[in-house]
Amino acid sequence: MPTIARVHQFVGGLTHLAVTMVLALGAATSRAAEPAPVEPVPPIAATGPRVVLHLQTGDIVIALDPEHAPISTANFLHYVDHKRYDNARFYRALKVDDAGQYGLLQGGLRGGRVQEFKPIAHESPTVTGLRHVEGAVSMARNAPGTATSEFFIVVGDLPSLDGGPDDRGYAVFGHVESGMPLVHDMLSLPRSQDVGDGSMSGQILAEPVKILTARRVAP
């Protein structure tokens, strides 16, 4: 499998994850030093909190991990419990490869009228042990410690987003328990060539997919 290298670009105070496919290891952007990476953690407990994102096309159920990512999990549930994600949108689809085997789908309150809560502290994968594998749910951000409502779902394995000794990566806090076919379908939706600037150019969905409701559900 080709190596996935990551390029961070920060535009307008919002994280833009520009991910490109390369055939050799790419040098990671320098970030504040972190402890040595920990081993990947086991699957999320079956008794952990779940959230269902109800879309017009179906449901996506997300299993959260408060044990390893308590801050990011609590933040996501804060938005859910206050119904801030109702009528939010999945608006960005980034394909790393033409076949759509690797990429990410981003959603949140960007450009909406709903107020976001305060930014949260960053939970690096090098500390939590949570990895950017197929179905991982992670916080979008600018610099570490600026994440608010924006999150993304990973398609395929993107280990370069995990960070390393000099790279804090992105904060994984859950995974898609059911509904990945919908995510794959949305990744292939038509994208506007006239919307989006910088690293988002050509990645904005021509018709964003609305999250009708986001609610907690029983495990």
Residue 196: per-residue pLDDT: 55
pLDDT band for position 197 (cuts 50, 70, 90)? low
pLDDT band for position 35 (cuts 50, 70, 90)? very low
Q: Compare 25 and 158 and report the one with higher pLDDT.
A: 158
Q: With respect to residue 136, please indicate whether it lies within any of the assigned structural domains.
A: yes
Residue 193: per-residue pLDDT: 76
Q: With respect to residue 191, please indicate whether it lies within any of the assigned structural domains.
A: yes
Q: With respect to residue 32, please indicate whether it lies within any of the assigned structural domains.
A: no
Residue 9 pLDDT exceeds 80? no
Q: Which domain holds residue 166?
A: 3-24+48-217
For 42-91, write each residue's pLDDT tens digit: 667 667 899 999 999 999 999 999 999 999 999 999 999 999 999 999 99
CATH of the domain at 206: 2.40.100.10
Tell me the pTM.
Answer: 0.83
What is the domain count for the chain?
Answer: 1
Q: With respect to residue 149, please indicate whether it lies within any of the assigned structural domains.
A: yes
Q: With respect to residue 41, please indicate whether it lies within any of the assigned structural domains.
A: no
Residues in a beta bridge with 95: 103
Q: Strand pairing of 14-22 and 3-11? A: antiparallel
Minimal CA–CA distance to 169: which of 42, 72, 29? 29
CA distance readout (Å), 74 to 68, 117, 143, 174, 189: 12, 12, 20, 11, 31
Residue the block writes with tokens 């938005």:
79
Residue 28: per-residue pLDDT: 32
Residue 81: per-residue pLDDT: 98
Give the mean pLDDT of the chain: 83
Q: With respect to residue 35, please indicate whether it lies within any of the assigned structural domains.
A: no
Percent of the chain with pLDDT over 70: 77
HSE-up (13 A, CA, CB side) for residue 63: 18
User: Over the chain, what HEC string results?
Assistant: CCEEEEEEEEECCEEEEEEEEECCCCCCCCCCCCCCCCCCCCCCCCCCCEEEEEECCEEEEEEECCCCCHHHHHHHHHHHHCCCCCCEEEEEEEECCCCCCCEEEEEECCCCCCCCCCCECCCCHHHHCCCCCCCEEEECCCCCCCECCCEEEEECCCHHHHCECCECCCCEEEEEEECHHHHHHHHCCCECCCCCCHHHCCCEEEEEEEEEEEEEECC
Residue 2 pLDDT exceeds 50? no
For 102-149, write each residue's pLDDT tens digit: 999 999 998 777 889 999 999 999 999 999 999 999 999 999 999 999
Q: Which of 20-24, 25-29, 41-45, 121-125 has the largest mean confidence?
A: 121-125
Provide the residue type at 132 as one letter: H
CB 103 within 8 A of CB 155: yes
Residue 155 pLDDT exceeds 90? yes
Residue 172: per-residue pLDDT: 97
Q: With respect to residue 33, please indicate whether it lies within any of the assigned structural domains.
A: no
